[in-house]
Amino acid sequence: MAKNDDDLRMSGVKSKKGVGQYILSVILLIYTAFCALPIILVFIAAFTDEMELATTGFTYFPKKWSMTGMNAVLKYGKQLFTSYGVTILITVSGTLLGLLVMSLYAYSTSRRDFRLRGFLSIFAMIPMLFSGGTLSCYVIYTNMYGLKDSLILLIVPMCVTTMNLIILRTYIQTSVPEELMDSARIDGAGEWKTFFGIVLPLMKPALAAVGFMMATAYWNEWQNALLYISSANKKPLQLLLVNIQKSIEMLLNSTNIPSAALSAMQGNIPQYSSTMATVVVVIGPIIILYPFFQKYFAKGLTMGSVKG
């Protein structure tokens, strides 16, 4: 940055495009490449010939392209489709449930003469400061609640978070005009009608920002799945990735291929490319959807930083 001094001295604010600006651009381009290149490598590896990967290793410029990895994933990966379904179910239901209950909570704690308001705010704040930790949660959920191998554990514990509650409440307090709510009440609308008819629609930008962050968290969640999920038809995508790391055979196994047949074809399993193809299939949707939600981001993040 210091290099810019002389070029930009006495120039208009951010207007003159001096040499310094080009140097800055190049530095930022290099950093961006550092962010993007590892991801691109995986996409390329997914379509690289398996023999080439095995002999000469990962490369950005494969001599021979191939669909075998992707085909193997799509052909043997019945589990992959099941897992896709599970992940989508968890992501959608968790995000919607979370947005609904948190908006309601945020709305009720933003009512000024509600006497429990202070208590409820502190109640929501404490989990950010103190938590039982993974082990306590594990023992309470499985031993006390008797929940094991249950999708509830992948959906509900994550759906209410202090940070998101604060974002939503701050948004209601600052961006939803109190007069609108009052006029609705004067027109005879009850609290529920006011909330669903007036407040919730006006919260759209905040809901989009929080919703996308939640959806990403759900999509990427692997730890709870690893701890709690054992049956194949409840395995989310990330758990599948974790399992693949242990052995790619697991993916093949779960499609009911007899183990004898499996060991016979062991040599022919396109290991590297199909692993990378699986990674591509798992991270693809997030990368595709991201640009559509991007504009809400800065807004949502900024809202969160305003303390509640």
Partner 1 sequence: MVDPNAYKQAKSNNFWHNMWKHRAHLLMALPAFLILLLFSYVPMTGLIMAFKKFNYADGIWKSPFNGIDNFKFLISSKDIFIRMTKNTFMYYLIFTILGTFLNVVVAIAIDQLAFKKLGKTLQSIMIVPIFISYAAVQFIVYALLSQESGLINQTFGTATRWYMEPKYWPMILTIVKMWNSVGYGSVLYMSVLAGIDQEQYEAAQIDGANKWQQICHITIPSLVPMITIMLLLSVGGIMRSDTGLFYQVTRNSGVLYDTTQVIDSYVLGQILKSSNFGFTAAATLFQSVVGTGLIIIANGVVRKLHPENALF
Binding to partner 1 (CB under 8 A) within 131-150 occurs at 131-141, 143-145
Binding partner 1 by CB under 8 A: which of 67, 74, 88, 160? 160
**Minimum separation from the CB atom of position 210 to partner 1 (A):** 13
**Residue 93, token pair as written in the block:** 């239901």
Q: Which one of 49-57, 64-72, 75-83, 248-256 is the stretch in contact with partner 1 (CB under 8 A)?
A: 49-57
Q: What is the DSSP string of 177-243?
A: -HHHHHHHHHTT--HHHHIIIIIHHHTHHHHHHHHHHHHHHHHH--HHHHHH--SGGG--HHHHHHH
Binding partner 1 by CB under 8 A: which of 51, 59, 64, 268? 59
Binding partner 1 by CB under 8 A: which of 175, 247, 268, 302? 302
Under a CB-based contact definition with an 8 Å cutoff, are residues 181 and 195 in contact? no
Footprint (CB under 8 A) of partner 1, residues 219-278: 219-223, 226-227, 238-239, 241-242, 245, 272, 275-276
Binding status of residue 51 toward partner 1 by CB under 8 A: no
Binding status of residue 63 toward partner 1 by CB under 8 A: no
Residue 96's alpha-carbon distances to 64, 90, 155, 215, in angstroms, are 44, 10, 10, 9
Residues in contact with 31: Cβ distance below 8 Å, sequence separation at least 6, in sequence order: none
**Residue 121, token pair as written in the block:** 């705010």
**Residue 80, token pair as written in the block:** 């992959």
**Minimum separation from the CB atom of position 170 to partner 1 (A):** 13
Binding status of residue 26 toward partner 1 by CB under 8 A: no
**Residue 193, token pair as written in the block:** 């009608």
When the beta carbons of 29 and 264 are compared against partner 1, the nearer one is 29
Binding status of residue 84 toward partner 1 by CB under 8 A: no
Binding partner 1 by CB under 8 A: which of 80, 86, 102, 167? 102
**Minimum separation from the CB atom of position 260 to partner 1 (A):** 29
Binding status of residue 294 toward partner 1 by CB under 8 A: yes
HSE-CB at 132 with a 13 A cutoff on CA atoms is 9
**Minimum separation from the CB atom of position 261 to partner 1 (A):** 26
Residues in contact with 222: Cβ distance below 8 Å, sequence separation at least 6, in sequence order: 236, 238, 239, 241, 242
Binding status of residue 49 toward partner 1 by CB under 8 A: no
When the beta carbons of 125 and 257 are compared against partner 1, the nearer one is 125
b (16+ CB within 10 A) / e for 255-264: eeeeeeeeee
When the beta carbons of 35 and 260 are compared against partner 1, the nearer one is 35
Binding status of residue 123 toward partner 1 by CB under 8 A: yes
Binding status of residue 296 toward partner 1 by CB under 8 A: no
Site residue total, partner 1 (CB under 8 A) = 116
Residues in contact with 302: Cβ distance below 8 Å, sequence separation at least 6, in sequence order: none
Binding track over 171-210 against partner 1, x by CB under 8 A: -------x---x--x----xxx--x---------------
Question: Any idea what DSSP says for residue 159?
Answer: T
Binding status of residue 67 toward partner 1 by CB under 8 A: no
